[in-house]
Structure 1
Amino acid sequence: MSYPPDPNNPYNQPQQPQQPPQPGYGYPQQAPPAAGYGYPQQQPQQPPAAAYGYPQQQAYGYQPMPGTIQANNGYINIAQLGTVKLATMGQRFLARLIDCLAVGAVIALVMALGLAGALGIVKETDDCSQYSYGSISYSDCVQQQNDAAAGIFATMMIMVAVLGVFNLLYEWLMVSFVGATLGKMAMGLRVVKESTGQNPGLGGGFIRFIIPIVGAFVCYIGALLVYLSPFFDNSGKLQGWHDRAAGTLVIKK
């Protein structure tokens, strides 16, 4: 039985299987379907790369750089200490008040001893009015009173020197080697170097101490401004001018 010739293949030539078109210029190559239950598998999405100017998310265990304020919430990262809380101005004021009471008690004791010595010197002098002006006893009485006045002045100067040395050693040495005075200990505060987290040492402690003392020579207004200067610190670290000069921070232990 014969069939009419195919109009598309009048000469009955064997047909070759059609090959898929090869990708060329302008023709994207389609990827073969992935194996599965008739559904193409989705490729796992890669996390977007961090663009310039956008902060990357913190990985587990990430620690910010030392000196970094944590969202301005009063916490800061310090080397060798980790994240610690900054002391508030109220806490620092109470610590300073306790220190003033402690130093004031020592000052009162020294002044009482000096006053007692001065009164003893005054009692030893005689009233020169009972002597005649031309007598030798009168001249001796006047000389004795002059010596007593000089002794009282010397006693007052010794008191001032003792109090100055005490105040220097109290504030300087305790902050340098302990990191805190009695008032700061009572409030649980500590002065540390911002770069190392350690005690300020002799150099840092002295710089931190001497700046308010220099300001006190201007009718004590300069010292008051130094102690109030943490309010003017826009970095969030509550560093006073003396803290900035010494490179220190006051933290809550």
Structure 2
Amino acid sequence: MTNEELIEKFESENITLATLQKRGLAYMIDEILISVLFALIYFDQIPDNMTTEEMIDAINGLFGYVVVLKVTYQTYFVWMYGATLGKIAMKIKVISTDDLEKPSFLFSLSRAAFRIVSESIFYLGFVWAALNPKRETWHDRVANTLVVNAH
């Protein structure tokens, strides 16, 4: 769908892009939920008598698990519901630019995986959203998605 066709479709169906503020708050909610879930899963693997340096090393050793948890969380919720719990709370959702429906499993997975890349490169993929009219992040561009207000 071209930009002109997309704008026309948005206008005819009364679809509006989510603000960066809503997206930011949804992101924070999701990160808090993932952090709590991670802490509950791996809490018993960090002994009480560790020094700060040992604790940092132990947490760094679990980094791969954090990535898997984040990708799984993002993929599942975007694929099944078109939104993560944070997005649901903020009343926004992810749609495919192809058909304006929730993304397929593969697009949800690629979006979630590329989101990690965006985070890893100083969050530049998120900053990108502030610099373009469709408020697309890098992971939105890769997956052909946009984040819009849910009605």
TM range (shorter): 0.7 to 0.9
1:100 aligned partner: 31
2:54 aligned partner: none
Instruction: Output aligned runs, 1:118-129, within 5 Å.
Output: none
2:107 aligned with 1:201:
no
User: Structure 2: 5+ residue runs without aligned partners?
Assistant: 51-56
Match of 1:245 among 117, 142, 150: 142
For 1:187 and 1:176, the matched residues in 2 are separated by: 18
1:29 aligned partner: none
Cα RMSD of the aligned pairs, angstroms, is 2.7
For residue 83 of structure 1, give the secondary structure of its aligned residue in structure 2.
coil
Instruction: Output aligned runs, 1:88-237, within 5 Å.
Output: 88-116=19-47, 157=61, 159-217=62-120, 220-221=121-122, 224-233=123-132, 236-237=133-134
How far apart are residue 167 of structure 1 and its match?
1.5
**CA shift in 2, pair 1:99/1:155, >3 Å:** closer
How far apart are residue 110 of structure 1 and its match?
3.3
Looking at secondary structure, tell me which structure has more helix per residue: 2
Normalising by structure 1, we get a TM-score of 0.49
Measured against aligned partners, the alpha-carbon deviations of 1:32-60 in whole angstroms (never above 9, x if no partner) come to: xxxxxxxxxxxxxxxxxxxxxxxxxxxxx
Measured against aligned partners, the alpha-carbon deviations of 1:148-187 in whole angstroms (never above 9, x if no partner) come to: xxxxx99974x44443322121011111221111100000
2:26 aligned with 1:68:
no
The answer on whether the counterparts of 2:119 and 2:125 sit within 8 Å (CA) in structure 1 is: no
**Runs of 4+ more than 4 Å apart:** 153-157
Measured against aligned partners, the alpha-carbon deviations of 1:87-125 in whole angstroms (never above 9, x if no partner) come to: 000110110011111111122223421114x86xx9xxx
Normalising by structure 2, we get a TM-score of 0.79
Residue 32 of structure 2 aligns with an amino acid whose one-letter code is L
For 2:137 and 2:8, the matched residues in 1 are separated by: 16
Residue 241 of structure 1 aligns with an amino acid whose one-letter code is W
For 2:45 and 2:73, the matched residues in 1 are separated by: 21
Residue 6 of structure 2 aligns with an amino acid whose one-letter code is G
Identity of aligned residues (%): 26
User: Structure 1: 5+ residue runs without aligned partners?
Assistant: 1-64, 71-75, 123-152
Q: How many pairs does the alignment contain?
A: 141
For 1:100 and 1:109, the matched residues in 2 are separated by: 14
